[in-house]
Structures are given as C-alpha cells and as structure tokens.
C-alpha cells in the first residue's frame, strides 16, 4: 500500500477484519519502539521495507498493549529513526 501524508486513507468496509490477523486493517504502534518492532516484522516476514510516521488513527478495529489496527490513518510526518 502507498499512503499520502496529511490526508485520511481508509480501507473499504469489505476489506476489514477484527482481531489481530495481519490483513484487514492498518496497523499503528503506540510508541516508537513498537513501530520499529512492526517494521522489522514486515521486513522479516514479508520482505517489505517500511517507513515510520507519526499518525492519527480512525475507527479502531483491534488494540493490544503496543499497537492498534484501524480502518484508516492520516500520516502527519515521517519520524527519522
């Protein structure tokens, strides 16, 4: 997926799933350390390089102690790590 900054990106209702599966939502971490963990996971499991951004989250579908899966996000600015 490709996201633009400073605008809401939302997945269609028919692509959503609750629970902690990888698909069915957009994952965001609550802290930079969690974002780095998710970034490493994506590279190790799927071979996908990711960048880390500060983000606003819309319509949460699932959450645990370090991440939130939602229907939409707005990327506010890239975090240099």
User: Tell me: the pLDDT tens digits for 1-50?
Assistant: 778 899 999 999 999 999 888 889 999 999 999 999 999 999 999 999 99
Residue 49: which domain range? 8-78
Flag whether 73 is in a domain. Answer: yes
> Stretch 42-67: mean pLDDT, rounded?
94
CA 45/CA 3 separation, integer angstroms:
21
Note the pTM of the prediction, 2 decimals: 0.81
Number of domains in the chain: 1
Strands 8-10 and 53-63: unpaired
Where are the extended beta strands (E) located within 1-81?
8-10, 26-29, 53-63, 67-78
Angle (CA) 8 17 13, round 5°: 50
């Amino acid at each position: 997926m490709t996201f633009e900054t400073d605008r809401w990106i939302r997945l269609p209702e028919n692509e959503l799933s609750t629970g902690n599966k990888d698909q069915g939502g957009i994952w965001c971490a609550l802290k930079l350390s969690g974002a780095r963990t998710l970034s490493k996971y994506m590279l190790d499991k799927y071979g996908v390089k990711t960048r880390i951004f500060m983000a606003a989250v819309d319509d949460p579908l699932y959450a645990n102690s370090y991440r939130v899966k939602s229907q939409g996000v707005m990327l506010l600015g890239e975090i240099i790590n």
